[in-house]
Amino acid sequence: MKSVIFFHRSVGRNLIKDGGIYQLVKESSAFTLSDYDQNTDLLTSPNGQQKPGFVFPGGNTRPADFAGIFSETTSVQYELIRDMALRYDTIVIKSCYPNSNIKSDEELDIIKGQYQAICNFFAKQKDKKLIILTSPPLRPIMTKHDNAKRARQLANWLSNLTFASNINVFNFFDQLAIPEDDKHANTLKPEYRRRLPFDSHPNARASIEIAPKFVAFLEN
């Protein structure tokens, strides 16, 4: 049976818990799932056991941080977490919502380069699969129109670019974001917002509705 490791932060944790992902995976029997929560530095195995002790670069699962792990020139301090990841058949990475606040076209180009570096690394790992989840959108009050538009451009670029055959993209941003023809385009949908006005974490409804789609994507 294939094994999957999911790297995430708080939105990923909510997707797992509120969306019941471990139960969905158990019911499918197509693969086993482990997850690494960068917010707590805990690796959780399919049986629920948790293991600390890994060093993750940075503090918010930025694309730059993932590029620092999945690289031919990985720093010695990150070799442990890289080698742990490469013990799995499929590696899933998700950058959290603050990274969708892209303030300039230059920053957008830099982020694209970081994702390209990650993909270049995995293109050489022929026996592994990489799945990228596009970053979640922010609430309208927490971003600007042009910044949110760039987040959409990044999600579209990742989703439409042809990487190596062992690399795929789940457009998580598109699942959560208001369509482009709306006043608050490219920000978190109202039905997926929490009550706190400054909290961009998607709510439980978002996790419940998207988790089955995510698991189905992993199955396929």
Query: What is the CB neighbour count within 10 angstroms for residue 48?
Result: 7
Amino acid at 123: A
Is the Cα torsion angle 200, 93, 10, 19 positive or negative in sign? positive
CB 118 within 8 A of CB 70: yes
Predicted local confidence at residue 220, as pLDDT: 87
Q: What is the pTM of this model?
A: 0.96
First CA to last CA distance, the chain = 14
Rounded CA-CA distance 143/121 in Å is 32
**Mean pLDDT over residues 41-58, rounded?**
90
Set out the domains of the chain in order of their start, with CATH numbers: 2-219 (3.40.50.1110)
Task: Evaluate if residue 88 carries a pLDDT over 90.
Answer: yes
Predicted local confidence at residue 183, as pLDDT: 87
Q: Which residue has the higher pLDDT, 199 or 52?
A: 199
**Mean pLDDT over residues 119-135, rounded?**
97
Two tokens, residue 213: 């789609």
Predicted local confidence at residue 59, as pLDDT: 80
State the virtual CA torsion across 188, 141, 66, 153 in degrees, nearest 10. 60
* pLDDT band, residue 127 (cuts 50/70/90): very high
Predicted local confidence at residue 182, as pLDDT: 84
Predicted local confidence at residue 47, as pLDDT: 86
CB 176 within 8 A of CB 201: no
* pLDDT band, residue 72 (cuts 50/70/90): confident
Q: What is the pLDDT of residues 89-108, one digit of tens each?
A: 999 999 999 999 999 999 99
Give the residue from 15, 51, 45 showing the smallest Cα distance to 32: 45
* pLDDT band, residue 191 (cuts 50/70/90): very high
Residue 27, CB half-sphere, CA atoms under 13 Å: how many? 8
Is the Cα torsion angle 38, 63, 98, 87 positive or negative in sign? negative
Average pLDDT value for the chain: 95
Two tokens, residue 56: 């993750």
pLDDT above 70 covers a percentage of the chain that reads 100
* pLDDT band, residue 162 (cuts 50/70/90): confident
17: left (phi over 0), alpha (psi -120 to 50) or beta: alpha
Predicted local confidence at residue 52, as pLDDT: 86
Predicted local confidence at residue 161, as pLDDT: 84
Query: What is the CB neighbour count within 10 angstroms for residue 78?
Result: 18
Rounded CA-CA distance 83/146 in Å is 38
* pLDDT band, residue 49 (cuts 50/70/90): confident
